[in-house]
Amino acid sequence: MCFRKNRIIETSDDSWLFKALKSYEKGVQFQLSDDVPLDIAKSDVESGLLLIKKTQSLNIPWNRIAVIIRKIGLCSTSLAITGYSITDEEPSTKLEELLSKDSMLISPKSLHALQCLGRKFKVIKVGNQFKIAP
């Protein structure tokens, strides 16, 4: 993994969650610096979906997460799918199961964004920083 042109997102920034989820959705590498600290583990940042699940223990209200998810292009059906997925033990597997059903009414942009959020990224932890790459 090469991190020369890397975006650094700090958890002290009010919009850190939006920036991180947008990076997952775009499939770009970035660094997440847990400078607050929020006790984020390496396993919490392996996918956007796992990061959304971590927000539950960070006491970030679901309505704030919903606003952020909508900003990255997810429709209300996708929001419901995300909410259902993060309640599962393995959110990425649950998301794949839900998206494999032909009965879902979802826009192509939302489908792509959900697939990106569920995709596993490579993570290297150095101190309180995470280097994250597709």
Asked if residue 2 is part of any domain, the answer here is no
Asked if residue 86 is part of any domain, the answer here is yes
- Over 70: is that where the pLDDT of 54 sits? yes
Q: How many domains does the chain have?
A: 1
Instruction: Compute the mean pLDDT over every residue in the chain, rounded to the nearest whole number.
Output: 88
Asked if residue 1 is part of any domain, the answer here is no
Asked if residue 84 is part of any domain, the answer here is yes
Closest CA to 71 of 133, 26, 9: 26
Asked if residue 35 is part of any domain, the answer here is yes
Residue 45 tokens read as 């940042």
Asked if residue 13 is part of any domain, the answer here is yes
Q: Write out pLDDT tens, residues 63-118.
A: 999 999 999 888 878 888 888 898 888 898 888 888 876 546 677 788 888 889 99
**pLDDT of the residue at 101:** 66
Residue 20 tokens read as 């991180």
Range of the structural domain that residue 44 is part of? 7-133
Query: What end-to-end distance do the CA atoms of the chain give, in Å?
Result: 9
Cβ neighbors of 119 (< 8 A, separation 6 or more) are: 24, 27, 47, 48, 92, 134
